[in-house]
Structure 1
């Protein structure tokens, strides 16, 4: 585990940089609103609206999305419960958590995985919205750091998980 120590030190330093400033509370309020858009409700609404307004493409979008989440959720759960990485506020008393996370462990970020999964799907099915969706997914990931519930590597691995699962589902449904 000594190979992980430089990563852990970097993560801690980055979190301290992000959370130790005089604008913590206003930033946390905005971050909470951004993070809330990644809670999952919006994904279901997007899928159903897509199906409603574009029955053929929307149905494909919805089916690929469901498959992607069926792939992502067990992997997310397995990784999170295997690594059992403590959250930032549990590791250092210098870090504050501005929300109560839904589970105990931080690696990977489920919000980030889901947001990047949706960004890939939106980019695939609705390319004109791709850049905006990736920017939104990145904001969700960064908001989780600014809320003190994730480290940078949790976000990076969450994004990789989401992108991989979305691409896998697209590939599986295509042929």
Structure 2
């Protein structure tokens, strides 16, 4: 476990920097709105719209997205159960949490993983929208830190998981 000490120290210091300042309430209100865009509803709307508006690519976008999420969700759950990493507020009472997360553990960030699944798929099917999609996925990840429910390394692993699942689905279906 000693090999993880530098990561744990960095995560705590970074979370302290992000959460322990006088503007944290204002930042949290903006972060809640950004985080909410990663709850999943918007992904369904995007996939359905793509299927209706863009007949040649939309159906494939939808199918690859379903497969990518079929990989991402069980992998995300398994990783959480294996690592059982405490959330920032559970790790230290000095770190505030501004929302109640849906589950107990923090590693990896499911919101970030899902955001990067979508960003990767958008980049493949709609390259002109890729920059926007990546910024959006990064904003979702940042919002999870600023809400006090994830550490920086949770976000990194979530992003890697999302890209890996989307890339695997693309390789299998494209």
Class of the TM-score when normalised by the shorter of the 2 chains: over 0.9
Equivalences for residues 148-167 of structure 1 within 5 A: 148-167=148-167
Match of 1:51 in 2: 51
Distance 1:155 1:106 in 2: 9
Match of 1:82 in 2: 82
Structure 2, unaligned stretches of length 5 or more?
none
Match of 1:144 in 2: 144
Q: CA deviation at 1:56?
A: 2.4
1:33-92 per-position Cα deviation (integer Å, ceiling 9, x unaligned): 000000000000000000011122100000000000001111101001110000000010
Distance 2:86 2:170 in 1: 33
Aligned length: 174
Secondary structure of the residue aligned to 1:39 is coil
Distance 1:69 1:149 in 2: 22
Q: TM-score, normalised by structure 2?
A: 0.99
Secondary structure of the residue aligned to 1:168 is helix
Secondary structure of the residue aligned to 1:93 is coil
Distance 1:150 1:54 in 2: 36
Distance 1:140 1:54 in 2: 26
Equivalences for residues 4-153 of structure 1 within 5 A: 4-153=4-153
Distance 2:123 2:54 in 1: 16
Alignment root-mean-square deviation, CA: 0.5
Q: CA deviation at 1:22?
A: 0.7
Q: TM-score, normalised by structure 1?
A: 0.98
Moved over 6 A (4+): none
